[in-house]
């Protein structure tokens, strides 16, 4: 069988879906009972000011039984007032509704490790040198 390998920064939606569907099918065959909560559900929790301007938010994904917090950003004006905790609480509540029992997040040393720890997350691992001259922390929480 001949193959052709392509590297692209812009795959078609059909190729992206086919790739995702293929790994989901493979995983289902390996772990019985994974089907009910294994489809990826992507979501956002958005924070807007009274003028409708985006001032913070979270991008997440639920798959298998896990919430993956992909990013969380809060503007300077919204930090420190509890809005970030409310965003996390809403994301976690949504994840529970999707069947998630675990949450994962990664953050760098200049970002939000203390914030996530205040939200009940514990550090699983730290990778020094990622990025260069810094560290990345991987945290988790049971939902």
Percent of the chain at pLDDT > 70 equals 95
Sign of the C-alpha dihedral, residues 123, 91, 18, 14? negative
Per residue in 82-120, pLDDT tens? 999 999 999 999 999 999 999 999 999 999 999 999 999
Confidence label for 32 from pLDDT (cuts 50, 70 and 90): confident
Neighbouring C-beta atoms of residue 97, cutoff 10 Å: 10
Percent of the chain at pLDDT > 90 equals 70
96: three-class secondary structure by DSSP:
helix
Domains of the chain, with CATH numbers? 39-142 (3.40.630.30)
Separation CA 73–CA 128 (nearest Å):
23
Q: Can you give the pTM of this predicted structure?
A: 0.82
Confidence label for 34 from pLDDT (cuts 50, 70 and 90): low
Average pLDDT score over residue span 22-41: 72
Average pLDDT score over residue span 119-126: 98
């Amino acid at each position: 069988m001949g193959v052709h390998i392509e590297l692209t920064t812009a795959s078609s939606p059909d190729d992206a879906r086919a790739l995702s569907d293929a790994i989901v099918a493979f995983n289902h065959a390996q772990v019985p009972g994974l089907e009910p909560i294994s489809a990826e559900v992507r979501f956002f929790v958005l924070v807007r000011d009274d003028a409708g301007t985006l001032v913070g938010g979270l991008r997440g994904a639920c798959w298998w039984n896990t919430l993956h917090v992909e990013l969380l950003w809060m503007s300077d004006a919204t930090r420190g007032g509890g809005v970030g905790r409310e965003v996390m609480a809403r994301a976690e509540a949504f994840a529970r509704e999707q069947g998630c029992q675990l949450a994962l997040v990664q953050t760098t040393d200049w970002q939000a490790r203390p914030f996530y720890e205040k939200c009940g997350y514990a550090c699983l691992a730290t990778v020094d040198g990622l990025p260069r001259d810094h560290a990345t922390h991987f945290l988790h929480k049971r939902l």
